[in-house]
Structure 1
Amino acid sequence: MHEKRVGKAYLRELFASLALYTVLLIAAIRWGRPMEDGLARTLVLLSPMMGFGAALWVIARHFGRIDEYMRMRLLENVALAAAITAGLSFSYGFLETAGYPKLSMFTVWCVLCGAVILVQLVRKLLDR
């Protein structure tokens, strides 16, 4: 019962922070890109990070709410995903020296998120 309640609160808070991020990202792209260089433009372009910071806060709160087993399991999944991401990033770095196109740093974040999801799904299937 506690885990379901905590899980629902986590998802609600996480989606709210991601919605804030999305709104700020759209606004930053729409109004920040055409602005002249300067402090105001920099602040507008960095404004989506408020949503990102909110998401980090939500994740940290979630770690505090869950029991020790779930915390350990989630941290293991994130650690495995980080290792996968590091391996892929280094591998692609070597490929860039061979002429492959340079990728944005945004790609690393997307790979990490995908790796976390993949690790969680694989471990869940293996635990059956």
Structure 2
Amino acid sequence: MHEKRIAKAYTRELFGSLALYTVLLVAAIRWGRPMEDGVLRTLVLLSPMIGFCAALWVIVRHFARVDEYQRMRQLENVGLAAAITAGLTFTYGFLETAGFPKLSMFTVWCVLCGSVLVVQLVRKLLDR
């Protein structure tokens, strides 16, 4: 029962912070990009980081709420995903020198999130 309550709170808080991120991102793209260069434009374009920091805070709170086994399991998943991400981005760095298109740093974040998801799914299937 305690785990379900924690999971429900985590999901609600995380989706709330991601919704904030999305709203700020859309606003930053819509109004920040056409602005003239300057401090205000920089602040507007950085505003989605408020939602990102909120999501980070939610994740840290979640790690503090779960028991030691869940914390260890999740940290292992993130560690494995980080290693996969490092390997993929390092490999793509070599491909860029071979003429492949340069990718945005945003791509690394997407690869890390995808790697975490894949690692969690694979480990869950292997535990059956």
Q: TM-score, normalised by structure 2?
A: 1.00
Q: Once the two structures are aligned, what percentage of the paired residues are identical?
A: 84
| Residue of structure 2 equivalent to 1:68 | 68
Q: Point out 4+ residue stretches in structure 1 off by more than 4 angstroms.
A: none
1:3 aligned partner, one-letter code: E
1:122 aligned partner, one-letter code: V
Distance in 1, Cα, partners of 2:107 & 2:30? 22
1:89 aligned partner, one-letter code: T
| Residue of structure 1 equivalent to 2:19 | 19
Structure 1 residue 115 corresponds to structure 2 residue 123: no
| Residue of structure 2 equivalent to 1:84 | 84
| Residue of structure 1 equivalent to 2:29 | 29
Distance in 1, Cα, partners of 2:71 & 2:33? 40
Shift of 1:112: 0.1
Q: Secondary structure at the match of 1:37?
A: coil
| Residue of structure 2 equivalent to 1:45 | 45
2:35 aligned partner, one-letter code: M
Distance in 2, Cα, partners of 1:79 & 1:35? 39
Distance in 1, Cα, partners of 2:23 & 2:117? 24
Shift of 1:11: 0.3
Gapped runs of 5+ residues in structure 2? none
Shift of 1:60: 0.1
Q: Secondary structure at the match of 2:36?
A: coil
Distance in 1, Cα, partners of 2:86 & 2:93? 10
What count of residue pairs does the alignment treat as equivalent? 128
Q: Once the two structures are superposed, what CA deviation does each residue of 1:44-97 show, in whole Å capped at 9, x if it has no partner?
A: 000000000000000000000000000000000000000000000000000000
Gapped runs of 5+ residues in structure 1? none
2:78 aligned partner, one-letter code: V
2:50 aligned partner, one-letter code: M
Q: Secondary structure at the match of 1:84?
A: helix
| Residue of structure 2 equivalent to 1:10 | 10
1:84-103 map, 5 Å: 84-103=84-103
Distance in 2, Cα, partners of 1:34 & 1:103? 23
